[in-house]
Structure 1
Amino acid sequence: MAATVAEQIRSRLRIRVDLPPPDERRGLREEAGLSQQELADIVGATRQAVGHWETGAREPRGELLARYVEAIRTLREVA
């Protein structure tokens, strides 16, 4: 069953709230010993995209946003 518009909006807003500032994203990745390429491979993005997300030049969107948030949450757990 497809999510309603309201569910999609709530979901995206929660995800955005859960995404830490760019410098913290980079720090979590580095602390875990992952390269930008390794994280990109995990979430299905390019290394350049991860670099942009970590500098704040761009923000992930759509399915990449959901995967990136899940990765960041996991990195927080292991930190």
Structure 2
Amino acid sequence: MTSTVAEKIRSLRHVRLELPTPPERRAIREAAGLTQAQVGSAVGVTPQAVALWESGRRTPRGHFLEKYVEAIRAMQEAA
């Protein structure tokens, strides 16, 4: 049975993107033993972007938000 695009979209589960607070983000990264440069490289951004996210002066968006949340989850599992 072939489903329509609309049916496929409705059936998708939305991944909950929970972003910890800025101080928690930094603590998670440090507990994992990673630098801002290493996290930035994994996410595809500069170390300065990670520093801004950890300070709370900026918030990742779109694709970078998804990648950053995945990175945080991986760091939490590794710690």
Deviations 1:11-48 (A, max 9, x none): 5xx21xx1100101001111111110011001001111
Q: Distance in 2 between matches of 1:51 and 1:37?
A: 9
> What's the Cα RMSD here?
2.2
Provide the residue aligned with 1:21 in structure 2.
21
Larger Rg, first or second structure (1 or 2): 2
Runs (4 or more) in structure 1 with deviation over 2 Å come to none
Tell me the CA shift for residue 77 of structure 1. Answer: 1.0
Q: Distance in 1 between matches of 2:35 and 2:27?
A: 11
Provide the residue aligned with 1:36 in structure 2.
36
Tell me the CA shift for residue 68 of structure 1. Answer: 0.2
Residue segments in structure 1 that go unaligned for 5+ positions in a row: none
State the identity %: 50
Q: Distance in 2 between matches of 1:76 and 1:32?
A: 7
Residue segments in structure 2 that go unaligned for 5+ positions in a row: none
Structure holding more helix per residue:
1
Question: TM-score, normalised on structure 2?
Answer: 0.80
Query: What count of residue pairs does the alignment treat as equivalent?
Result: 73
Q: Distance in 2 between matches of 1:38 and 1:75?
A: 12
Question: TM-score, normalised on structure 1?
Answer: 0.80
Provide the residue aligned with 1:47 in structure 2.
47
